[in-house]
Amino acid sequence: MKKILLYSLVITPLFACKNDTVSEPTVMPEEVLPKAEYTLTTDKTHDKFSSTIPHQLQVPDGSVVEVFTLEATGGQLNLNSTQEDFDNVDMDKIHTLTGPIYVEGAQAGDVLAVEILDLEPGDWGWTGMGPDFGFLAGEWETHGFKTYALDKENNRVNFSENISIPLKPFLGVIGVAPPTEEMLVTFPPRANGGNMDDPNMIKGTTVYLPVFVEGALLSVGDSHAVQGLGEVVGTAVECDMRALLRISVLKDKKIEEPQYETDEYYATTGYGTTIDEAAKKATKYMISHISETYGMSEGDAYMLCSLIGDLKIAEVVDMPHMLVTMHIPKDVFK
């Protein structure tokens, strides 16, 4: 028996080769992205959130829009910048946002769906820190500043000679106009979205924003090549970006604060002046989502959140607000 088995193992591959039955390697088809119907460039920017900022582009519901963004300082820094350059950045120009985009048919009370079809970072990025901002502001006196040439061919950024980090690009700011004529600074996240700094809002994610004014007036920016949850020093790998977005108006969905989803999970967000406040809001919004979407009592939805809901700290540095999210997997409902 042993000899027969050995013989069969030896001759089978020879027979296969002789008759050319070895299969060719499978070639995966290239991803085909929709073509941009509209383009918004980096000369169409602003640095506040307000219902009075005039739109720079008007598009029909469901349009695919190509948007180019600048790194957070709006061009004040470059690959050769130094610590001194970083220390002298004009903070009044942060964040430089591209937009606003007026979406036809969007009215107060609707929801704007922003499908992130593609994100392509620029060629370089930077990270900086100082004693006056970041999670340890007042406790950590060190200054620091780094620039990086992004290795897009290998999808990496080299933090140091021995540390290489995979790129995971996303837009730190995705927001619509708030229901006020006041010129609001862009630093804290709010109900309109804005500076959420959530590294889960990557390619393949659809972000849902409550609409407060006619046309929604969507703006994006503060683009990042990679960032950890929390963004504890106050900056990520800040970079320029090309974003491809499909923007749609939803009339049958109602939310109070931003939410988002992928093929794998659904997420709610909550902002607050403390982690506790933000986490409670994210949890309450998830209870409502589960109850309304799946016809479940709020009590059962609350218990389910305890079993499958993952609370995540998106950011802790954009004072006076912090952002917490709750994620639930979709496959448990099938």
CA angle 158, 161, 167 (to 5 degrees): 15
Alpha-helical segments (H) within 27-172 = 83-87
User: Which of residues 334 and 200 earns the better pLDDT score?
Assistant: 200
Q: Provide the angle, in degrees to the nearest 10, between the axes of the packed helices 298-308 and 275-294.
A: 120
Distances (CA, A) of 223 to 76, 95, 122, 188, 248: 15, 10, 10, 16, 21
Report residue 24's pLDDT band, with 50, 70 and 90 as the boundaries: low
Query: In this structure, are strands 322-329 and 265-272 parallel, antiparallel, or unpaired?
Result: antiparallel
Q: What is the pLDDT of residues 30-75, one digit of tens each?
A: 789 999 999 999 999 999 999 999 999 999 999 999 999 999 999 9
Which residues share a beta bridge with 142? none
In angstroms, the Cα distances linking 10 to 14, 18, 21, 72 are 7, 13, 16, 63
Q: CA of 236: how far to CAs of 66, 111, 197, 225, 230, in Å?
A: 23, 29, 9, 8, 10
pLDDT tens profile 214-254: 999 999 999 999 999 999 999 999 999 999 999 999 999 99
Could you give the percent of the chain with pLDDT greater than 70?
A: 91
Q: In the chain, which ranges are continuous DSSP H helix?
A: 2-18, 83-87, 275-294, 298-308
Say what the pLDDT of residue 42 is: 97
Q: What is the pLDDT of residue 28?
A: 58
CB atoms near residue 179 (< 10 Å): 14
Strand partners, 172: none
Mean pLDDT of the chain: 92
| 8 Å CB contact between 101 and 59 | yes
CA atoms within 13 A on the CB side of 33: 18
Averaged pLDDT, 301-324 = 97
Split at pLDDT 50, 70, 90, the class of 16 is very low
pLDDT at 7 over 60: no
Would you place residue 9 in the very low, low, confident or very high pLDDT band (cuts 50, 70, 90)?
Answer: very low
pTM of the model: 0.90
CB 74 within 8 A of CB 209: no
What's the confidence (pLDDT) of residue 25? 57
| pLDDT at 164 exceeding the cut of 70 | yes
Predicted local confidence at residue 118, as pLDDT: 98
Question: Does the pLDDT at position 14 exceed 70?
Answer: no
Sign of CA dihedral 32, 205, 318, 227: negative
Placement of tokens 């109070």 in the chain:
256
Q: How far is CA 140 from the centre of its chain?
A: 28
Domains delineated in the chain: 38-256 (2.60.120.580)
pLDDT of residue 27: 59
Query: Which percentage of the chain shows pLDDT scores above 90?
Result: 86
Instruction: State the Cα–Cα distance between residues 301 and 311, nearest whole angstrom.
Output: 15
Reply yes or no on whether the pLDDT at 6 is more than 60: no
Say which range, 57-61, 133-137, 149-153, 305-309, has the weakest mean pLDDT: 133-137
Mean pLDDT of 138-149: 91
User: Tokens 């994100």 identify what position?
Assistant: 119
Chain-centroid distance of CA 249 in Å reads 19
Are the CB atoms for 128 and 235 separated by under 8 Å? yes
